[in-house]
Structure 1
């Protein structure tokens, strides 16, 4: 009776789960799991993890870190077929390597009203070398169809306790249930980090005695943990973000302390004080920062004679920019040689910016190196030192009360401007005497794009006029790079973007690649169409955004523009010989908390129609809570540019 009762309870639970959708209570595959081909909570999903579970522990006999992983995957439609291939990355070095064992998979389908099962063939498992330290193991599930459900599992074996298995709760497809059960012996103490900002549904821990023993040496207790997340949305990458690794919901481990059974204690995670002590004598950082002899006789007498510190710093910065070429590699901790840079005139990020540092320091300018992680590399850990998190080095300069962040790897950067790749919120300033600290990494000014347009209508009812453009900040940086790389074809970028308009007689007022602004002027011509005796004119011959960059139903990570931004477009249209039938209606819009303002006005002033359009983003980074407002804001911007019409009728 007890067995029957237990069976009925389980059956009832599964039935209730099936009635509400997929069986997210376990790995048993129900008919509804197979027949349901739409996920109500995300109609755009092509595949879905219904249930997954991972367990990591140290094997009592081999002392290897084992991770047993099992998943139940649903293929919703043909676009989800790419999820039918699993790739496992295995690490190895110094004669040791990770292994994967016990790979099993069963594919469930409904055929002729019956549930069928197809097993993964061992011959369908392939291994290939990815790079010096990684091997790939790949396998593709058989007999995949729309509606297939796959239950698969494998076991990872790793000799690397410093690389305790991370667990990704979030991927690019939604998940209904994700559970991870790590068991950590007391010999190893980790910094445990929950990334992504999502809350755990279950977070419990317990102590298990004598989980690990070494004969004649001692035993260790284990901390057993259970972490669960439910109803996890897919992570979809979109514009205006840093790397997805900053936001994917996951648990990570950084080895902090190892305690041997012999009483030995190794402090793996160090303090910043100890790390700076090591960097001070490091061949690639500390010793290169002392290479003052290499800098002798590099600067001209003209630069050395400059008395104003700011002007001298600018001259030294420009000298490094123009003399040395970045080889597009970072290598901030490997094979750094300022001497090689001076000899070869080409080098990596560290070499160029350390040379800049040394030249400034040799000329009595207050300068410090700053380590940072680029936008594509992810955020550096702040709660404890993880040197491998950093992949870039810049220079922090203090002149009077003003601070400048410098990077001489780009010929087009103005003094105090960093490449966009560096705008990743913060960096670690190194001060080997007083001790380092975290510094904010921000754009040094708001970026602005302006166009002033003057238009006339000729006797053949064609539009003609002039456009004057002015760009600052990162808009100027992009324009300078495009223009100076090939001035003869620069105007083609406008012609290709706006094929219905002719662009002629181009002239740029900017002659210096490192100028803080980029100014340009050119003439435009566009034919107009007369419909029923009326002319319909869209005054936006140039647009700032052709489409709304935000399309997600929900975005769970910040909107990171990198810098504050502003746009302005003004038009004066001469309508002397025309009657104005209609002009666009005014629009005023603000983002929450006054973090952005949009103004659009049109008016008639004598013989002219005046149009003024301005909008801005007063924050470089917006919290995800602003997403719907920003989405609506951009929709309005695009609509104004596409659908604002001036309607004219020829006067008798």
Structure 2
């Protein structure tokens, strides 16, 4: 008979086999080894379908053509059937609008390696198996699929890119949706090219080394047109960046754009110094950008359109003496009379006359109309450029206007500011759509100069349920539930209810399969009020009271049903967008027929550093049972190291809601 010691020994042996198998991958070179083919598991991520064993990029400026050359090598292990899609490779080539300048690809070599009867068998793609297709005006895709792919295959491919676009130094993505054992990027940047270089994401380098190569690039008269007795040279900074054991980037709930967190190297050309000493600054300052924005038809030229809009508002709005009330009426007017066409920021084309005529327009048009109506009515208003959650963070290091895709406005009344967006009729005054909760925006005061503005939401969104139940003289359990929602919880409920009240009520009743909803009432006055309140009467018509013992779960409304956090490891922040408070208050009147047999215990759990907590409390007063559950998340964003604690925190909440039982017995 196998005893526990033997089982433990066996488990240790299996673990060592796995560990050894993983170490058999050849992560030091592009060469495919027997170990690469024989190793078919990756212990650090057993869910992985494929694995990058080794990849290397090398970017440098060609000494003769001054073009940017990038050489790529990649070796990938196919772990299972689902991983076979890694055998299809797509490479994007960029071209200028006039097609006169374009990126070129050459030296494509791609092979599949399989283990057959103990020997390595390789199959190469042929030239006629590489295809090109036009993707859009500025991009062409080069595509090929490696042959004879199966679980256990190893594929390799390499190619050479040549680009005339020195301003677009090749970024390098260390992290993708499959894990990587080793990723290296070598760069050689001449000293006459100055780039803003940044590492995005939360991973660290295993290697980051730089050396100066003297006279790596010289003035080429054929390219520069320079004729000189003494040839000028530029030194190069040669850098090696490397990462090891890179986890797959798996998207999960409560995150902003993956572009914010995928570990990669980004480059933007800042200045170019020619060999004759003249300097051309490529990156601009915000002062220069502000000046340019004044000339945009959608911004600077639209910021004072008094003649176009002066007759839009009625006297009930324009004659309002209170500035805040007037601002709210103007906001309500735009919300109700103009519809968002789902298009985002269009800086170069957003004429207000089209919006006024068609009653429909993009984000820029609607919110610039709002801005101009405020200005016309002596309310201080300033537009704000921002990037939405799905679009990623706009860099603060230098102006990149293309990174902004949204426009809102800020009004100032009695020394208090309000951020406004009129694209959604359900928003309350001072509330932004959830898509806009992305940390910061650029306040466009084009006279004094633009500046960064914090748009983090500080007011918590609240859900509160008050449940009052009572056993009547016949032993039937009935009661009333009053629910209140604020901020973004209210926004979601308003959209669900006012879009179709009949469907809302049907879905509402279907959520209570064991409970009969006798009546339902919504207490809101309109769809853009700052709260959503509803009440309903319920009857536990299917409650079995035939036994002397009755088990009752007090949580007829559950805040969280399933845990949204399922990853073993998360390398990017948990971003809720706003703080949250959940409150559940339950009171049960036992009447004359029941008494308490057993009660669950009260408890409190805290997140690290007081960043959140939940409190479950229970007590009895006479023949009444009182239960309360309060949950607080005190941060809008949690760093990745909080992930295990948050995951357990949510599990505890679900467990409390699901498994809490009151044990009642008949008198």
Using structure 2 for the length normalisation, give the TM-score: 0.91
Given the alignment of the two structures, is residue 83 of structure 1 paired with residue 86 of structure 2, yes or no? yes
Unaligned runs of 5+ in 1: 1-15
Report the 3-state secondary structure (helix = DSSP H, G, I; strand = E; otherwise coil) of the residue aligned with 1:191. strand
Q: Which moved more, 1:336-345 or 1:520-529?
A: 520-529
After the TM superposition, which residues 253-652 of structure 1 pair with which residues of structure 2 at under 5 Å, given as runs? 253-261=267-275, 264-443=278-457, 445-457=459-471, 463-526=477-540, 527-529=542-544, 533-576=548-591, 577-651=593-667
Answer whether contact 1:168 1:251 (CA < 8 A) is retained: yes
Q: What does residue 211 of structure 1 align with?
A: 217
Give the equivalent residue in structure 1 for 2:148: 143
SS at 1:194 equivalent: strand
Give the match for residue 161 of structure 1: 166
Cα deviation digits, residues 616-649 of structure 1 (max 9, x gap): 1111111122112111111111111111111222
CA drift of 1:229 comes to 1.2
| 8 Å contact kept, 1:540–1:641 | yes
- Higher mean displacement: 238-247 or 501-510: 501-510
C-alpha contact 2:22 2:41 (8 A) present in aligned 1: no
The verdict on how the C-alpha distance between 1:146 and 1:532 changes in structure 2, with shifts beyond 3 A counting, is farther
Please tell me whether residue 152 in structure 1 is matched to residue 167 in structure 2.
Answer: no
1:47 corresponding residue in structure 2 = 50
Q: Distance in 2 between matches of 1:263 and 1:94?
A: 30
Distance 1:65 1:543, change over 3 A: same
Q: Relative to structure 2, which stretch is displaced further, 155-164 or 69-78? A: 155-164
- Is 276-285 or 79-88 further displaced after alignment? 79-88
Alignment check: 8 A CA contact 2:219 2:275 kept: no
- Contact 2:167–2:269 (8 Å) recurs in 1: yes
Residue 190 of structure 2 contacts residue 216 of structure 2 at CA under 8 Å; is this kept in 1?
no
**SS of the residue aligned with 1:640?**
helix
Partners of 1:249 and 1:221 in 2: CA distance = 29
Tell me if structure 1 keeps the 8 A contact 2:22–2:43: no
SS of residue in 2 equivalent to 1:465: strand
Q: Deviations over 1:488-516 (max 9, x none)?
A: 11122333444444434221000211100
SS for the counterpart of 2:300 is coil
What corresponds to 1:32 in structure 2? 35
| SS of aligned partner of 2:256 | coil
Distance 2:266 2:624 in 1: 63
CA distance in 2, matches of 1:193, 1:595: 30
Report the Cα offset of residue 459 of structure 1.
Answer: 7.8
User: What's the counterpart of residue 137 of structure 2?
Assistant: 132
How many Å apart are 1:70 and its aligned residue?
A: 0.6
Distance 1:531 1:99 in 2: 81
Stretch deviating more after TM superposition (367-376 or 455-464): 455-464
CA deviation profile, 1:109-166 (whole Å, cap 9, x unmatched): 2222222212223343333333333222322222222221111112222222221100
On the 8 A contact 2:112/2:154 being kept in 1, the answer is yes
Query: Partners in 1 of 2:598 and 2:103 — Cα distance?
Result: 71
- The match for 1:94 is 98
Deviates most, 41-50 or 545-554: 41-50
Q: Which residue of 2 aligns with 1:190?
A: 195
| Local SS of the residue matching 1:223 | strand
Corresponding residue SS for 1:571: strand
Structure 1 residue 330, shift from structure 2 partner: 0.9
| Greater shift in the superposed pair: 55-64 or 226-235 | 55-64
Change (3 A) 1:583 1:160: same
Q: Retained in 1: the 8 A contact 2:485–2:531?
A: yes
User: 2: distance between equivalents of 1:138 and 1:463?
Assistant: 66
Matches within 5 A, 1:219-234: 219-234=233-248
**Whole-angstrom CA distance in 2 between matches of 1:26 and 1:580:** 71
- In 2: Cα distance, 1:560 partner to 1:604 partner: 39
Most deviating of 222-231 and 406-415: 222-231
Q: CA deviation at 1:219?
A: 4.7
Per the TM alignment, residue 566 of structure 1 is displaced from its structure 2 partner at its CA by 0.4
Describe the superposition over 1:160-211 as per-residue Cα deviations: whole angstroms up to 9, x where unpaired: 2221100001111111111111222334321111111322222222333142
The answer (yes or no) to whether the contact 1:196–1:247 under 8 Å persists in 2 is yes
Matches of 1:186 and 1:211 in 2, distance apart?
9
**Maintained 8 Å contact 1:71/1:153:** yes
TM, length-normalised to structure 1:
0.93
- Structure 1 residues 458 and 114, CA gap change in structure 2 (3 angstroms): farther
- Correspondence 1:74 to 2:80: no
Do the aligned residues in 2 keep the contact of 1:325 with 1:347 (CA within 8 Å)? yes
* Conserved? CA contact 2:22–2:42, under 8 Å: no
Moved more, 521-530 or 176-185: 521-530
**Superposition deviation, residue 520 in structure 1:** 0.4
Work out whether residues 565 and 618 of structure 1, in 8 Å CA contact, stay in contact via their aligned partners in 2.
yes
RMSD of equivalent CA atoms: 2.1
Residues 463 and 58 of structure 1: CA distance in aligned 2, closer, same or farther (over 3 Å): farther
Q: Structure 2: any 5+ residue segments left out of the alignment?
A: 1-18, 227-231
